[in-house]
A and B are shown apart, each in its own frame.
Chain A
Amino acid sequence: MENNKYLIELKNISVSFDGEKILENLNLSIKDGEFVTFLGPSGCGKTTTLRIIAGFLQPDEGEVLFENKDMRGVPSHKRQVNTIFQRYALFPHLTVAENIAFGLKIKKMKKPDIKKKVQEMLALVNLKGFENRMIDSLSGGQQQRVAIARALAVDPKVLLLDEPLGALDLKLRKDMQVELKKIQQSLGITFIYVTHDQEEALSMSDTIVVMDAGKIQQIGSPTDIYNEPVNAFVADFIGESNIVDGVMHADNVVEFSGHVFDCLDKGFGKDEAVDVVVRPEDVDVVPKEKGMLTGTVTAVTFKGVHYEIIVDIGGFLWMIQSTDIQHVGDEIGLEIEPDAIHIMKKSKYSGTFGDFSSYSEEFDELSDVNAGVSREDDGDE
C-alpha cells in the first residue's frame, strides 16, 4: 500500500441521538500507519466517531470508506478493525491465553498456530508467564496489556483505542503511553486513539484531531496544534494559555492589554478584532519600568521546574511560568517577543474562557468520572 493513499476516509458524517446532533458533517482522512488521536472534552463526539469506524454505529448520513470500499452495512465482525475498550471488556470467564486466543479460534486457526501467536502476543505486551491467570487476578495495567494483545492477535489493519489509559494511575499511564507508541511503531499499523488528555495526545500522536460539539476544530501535527491553534477553543484546550482580545492594526502589528506589540501574523483586515494567544512559558518577567505590560502578582505556585505566577493586568489574570520566584503583591513588568504571540480569527469560542486557562479543572472532573465503579461503561457520549 502506498503511503499517500488514505486507509480510512469519513465523508460528510452526521449522527444524532434523540434529535441531538452528535456529529455534524464530519470529514476526515487517515493514512496507513498513522497514529491519529481524537482529542476533545467529553460529549464532543470522539467516541461516536470511533464507534462509526468500528461498525458499532451506523451514521445517519455520510459514508465510511476503508481502502476506498464503502463500509455501509458491513458489520463490525467483518471489518479489519479492532478496538480496545474503555474498560478493556475482557472476558472474565476465560484465562489470559483464552482471551487472546478468542479471535483466533473464531478465525478457525489451527491449535499450534494459536499457541504460537498467543506466546508472541504475550511477549509483545510483556506478559510472559501470565497465560493461565484469570482476568480478575490481574491489575488494571495488566488487564490493559491483555486487551491490547487480544486485539492485536487478529492482525488488524487498524487498532481503535477508546480512552484506553483512563482508568490507570498517572505513573502507569505514562509508561503505557510510551509502550503503546513503541508497539504502534514496531507493527506499523494505524492507531486511532481517543482521549480527553491533551498531554497524552501531544506526546503520542502523528496527527491530532481536535473536536468539540460534534465538529472537527483543527487537524494537525502536535506542534501545529500547540503553536498555531485555529481558534480560542483549541488554544484553551491544548496546553495552558492566556487568551485576550486584540486588534490587528496592520500586518505584524497587534494591540492588546493597552500596548501595541510586534508580531509575525499577517493577512487580517485593518483594525480587525482578533483573539490573541500567549503561552505562559513565552512571557518574560522584567523590572516594572522595562515591561511592555505591568501587573500585580496575585498568586505563586511552585511547580518543580518553574513557578506558576498569576498576574493581574488591568483586571485580566494572566498565567506566567518563570524559573525566578516572585512574591504576591509585587508589581512586575512583562515582555512578550513577537514570535510568542499567536493571532486567531474571532470564533464562536471568543471570550468564553475568561482569565488564563488551564485544562486542569475539566481534566480532574473527567478523571473522577473514570474512577467511578461502573464496569459497563459504554462510552461517555
Chain B
Amino acid sequence: MNKGLAIGNNKVNLLPFSGWMVVFVLVPIALVVYYAFTDVDGFTLENLKWVGTYGKTLWLSVVLAFYATAICLLLAYPIAYSMSRASARVQRNATLIIMLPMWMNFLVRTYAWMTLLEDTGLINSALRAIFGMDFPGLRLINNHGAIVLGMVYNYLPYMILPIYTSMTKIGTSLIEAARDLGANGAQVLGRVILPLSVPGIISGITMVFIPSISTFIISKILGGGKDYLIGDLIEDYFLGNSGVVNYNIGAALSLTIMVMILAATFIMNHFDKDASTSGGGVI
C-alpha cells in the first residue's frame, strides 16, 4: 500500500482534473458521437453516408493542411536551430518576436493578409505603380496558395516553438562530442541534432496539422469561399449558413476529422518511440 506523503488520497487529488475532463472532453465527444449516429428517428448510418459525398472536400483539406505543415516544417527547422544556438538574450528576443503576432486577434491577422493580397490590395497596387501596368495573370488571393499562405502564417509559431524547445535541450557538449569524434557539420546535424529534435518535430507537425485541417476562417477569407474545406462544411451545418441546419451531419463530419487526426497521431508517435522520456511531445 502506498502511504506516502501525499495529502489525502489520489482519487481526491485527481477530482478537479477528472471533473474537467468529464465536463469538457468526455461529454462533448459523447455528444458528437451521439449526433453522428442518430437522426430524428434514432440510430442511423445515413450521416456517415453524407460524409462520403464530401470526399473531394475532405481530400482538399488534407492536401492543403499537408502543404501548410510541410512548408512550416521547412521554414521552422532552420529558424529553430539558429535560435537554439544563439545567445540567451537573442533567444529571448526571438521568442518574443515569434509570439508577438499571436497576441493579435486571429481574424485581424487574416484580414490583414486579405488587404495585402486582393486584386486592389497593397501588393498589386504597388506593382501597378512601379511597372505602370496591370498583371491580370497574377492572382494572389482566392486560390489554394493563399489559403496555404494563411495557414503557414498563422501556425508557423506552433512549429517553431516545440522544435526550438527540443533543440535547446541538446547540450552544446553533445555537439562538441560529435565533432570531437570526427563528425563534420552535416554529420552532426544528421546523426545528433535531427534525431534528438524528433519529439519537437512531432509536436510541431501535430500542432500545425490539426488546426490547418479543421480551419474554416482562413479558407473563407483568403480562399474567397469558393474552396470549401471540411471546417467550412461543419460550420455551415451547425450554423445554417447555407440554409440547412443539421447537427447530425456536422457531427459526422467532426467525427471524421477526429478519426483522421487520431490516425495521423498514431502514425507519427510510431516515429517518436520515446517522446515521453525526451520531452517535447504533446500527444
Interface on A for B, CB 8 Å cutoff? 54, 56, 75-78, 81-83, 85-87, 89-93, 102-103, 106-107, 136, 150-151, 154, 375-378
A-B contact pairs, 17 of them (CB 8 A): A54-B180, A77-B179, A77-B182, A89-B174, A90-B177, A91-B192, A92-B278, A93-B196, A93-B278, A102-B181, A102-B191, A106-B187, A106-B191, A154-B182, A375-B171, A377-B173, A378-B171
Please tell me if the beta carbons of B171 and A136 are within 8 angstroms of each other in the complex.
no
CB–CB A106/B183 < 8 A: yes
Distance of B145 from chain A, by nearest CB (Å): 37
The 0/1 profile, CB within 8 Å of A marked 1, for residues 197-235 of chain B is: 000000000000000000000000000000000000000
Interface flag for B242 (CB, 8 Å):
no
Which positions in B face A, CB cutoff 8 Å?
171-174, 176-184, 187, 191-192, 195-196, 274, 277-278
Q: Assess whether A76 is in contact with B176, with CB atoms less than 8 Å apart.
A: yes
Contact B278 A83 (CB under 8 A): no
Let me know if B171 and A89 touch, CB within 8 A.
Answer: yes
Most buried by A among B181, B183, B187: B181
Instruction: Classify the interface of chain B: helix, strand, loop or mixed.
Output: helix
Query: Are B184 and A136 interface neighbours, CB within 8 A?
Result: no
Q: Are A103 and B171 in contact (CB under 8 A)?
A: no
Do residues B172 and A106 form an inter-chain contact, with CB atoms below 8 A?
no
The answer to whether A107 and B176 touch across the interface, beta carbons within 8 angstroms, is no
- Tell me if A83 and B180 are in contact (CB < 8 A): yes
A54 and B182 alpha carbons, distance in the complex (Å) = 12
When distances are taken between beta carbons in the complex, the residues of chain A under 8 Å from B173 are 85-87, 89, 376-378
Q: How far is the CB of A128 from chain B (nearest CB, A)?
A: 22
CB <8 Å contact, B278 and A106: no
Set of chain A residues within 8 Å of B191, measured between Cβ atoms: 102, 106
Our pick among A89, A91, A136, A154 for the contact of B176 (Cβ within 8 Å) is A89
Contact A75 B171 (CB under 8 A): no
Closest to B198 in A: A93
Known: A77-B179, A151-B181. 6 other contacts (CB 8 A): A75-B179, A77-B184, A91-B196, A106-B187, A377-B173, A378-B173
Contacts of B179 in A (CB 8 A): 56, 75-77
Q: How far is the CA of A82 from the CA of B181 in the complex (A)?
A: 7
By the criterion CB–CB under 8 Å, are B172 and A378 in contact?
A: yes
